[in-house]
Amino acid sequence: MSGPLFDRWSALKAELPATARLLAVSKGHPAEAIRELAESGQRHFGESRVQEALPKQDQLADLSLSWHFIGRLQSNKVRSVVRAFPVIHSVDSLPLAQRVSRIAGEEEQRPEVLLQVKLRPDTNKGGFLRDELLSAWPELAALPSMTVVGLMTMAPMGCEADDRQALFQECRELADQLELGECSMGMSGDWREAAAAGSTWLRLGSVLFGPRPSASPPAG
């Protein structure tokens, strides 16, 4: 393999600490770009809109890729997401988690779920507040048709690097407290702080694929 996409991918891979994996966020990019990266050895891809992801998954069905849903999960999309994505990073409330588990049971699926947490005030994003998560935890952990494997978080817009690192460390500590292995944190603009704080999934889009050609609405 060669070319700019491969070069960016291998440079990023070389910089990642051993504990952090790269989730290639392919929203806004065509199936051909995903195929090119898959041929380099990338297996995990993140998408944030189900209607965009499904045709791409179809076009790439000959590859054994692992698809992660990272966008805001609307309750009327749960069934299609559960059918198409074995990993969901963005379950942000107890009722939504209950719905995911119920529908996954009906669909004979058992997704791996990361619970989205909101550790700083942010009107643009959903997520469990810390205390909400702790009080809902016994119910979440007992849901029969999904496995909670970790937490996901995003830094609010305008959050400075120092506070981002503190925020990511708080997320890591909360995951450790709940004995959860995975922390999905870090995007193109802040992945170094997230990796230093113990992220296990860096969700990287533009730093990998370049700017998104189609204007995608903000997700999450």
Report residue 149: phi and psi, to 5°: -110, -10
Two structure tokens written together for 197 = 């704080």
The one-character DSSP state at 135 is: H
Alpha carbon distances (Å) from 22 to 31, 51, 123, 187: 18, 23, 28, 10
Residue 219 in contact with ligand PLP, rule: CB under 6 A: yes
Toward ligand PLP, which CB reaches closer, 145 or 216?
Answer: 216
We find the least distance from the C-beta atom of residue 15 to ligand PLP, in angstroms, to be: 15
C-alpha radius of gyration, the chain, whole number: 17
Residue 49 in contact with ligand PLP, rule: CB under 6 A: no
Stretch that binds ligand PLP, among 60-68, 77-85, 157-165, 198-206 (CB under 6 A): 198-206
Residue 205 in contact with ligand PLP, rule: CB under 6 A: yes
We find the least distance from the C-beta atom of residue 90 to ligand PLP, in angstroms, to be: 7
String of contacts with ligand PLP for each residue 57-76, x by CB under 6 A: -------------xx-----
Residue 151 in contact with ligand PLP, rule: CB under 6 A: no
| Three-point CA angle 89, 95, 97, nearest 5° | 30
H helices present in 41-91, as ranges = 50-59, 78-84
Q: Point out which residues bind ligand PLP (CB under 6 A).
A: 25, 27, 48, 70-71, 187-189, 203-207, 219-220
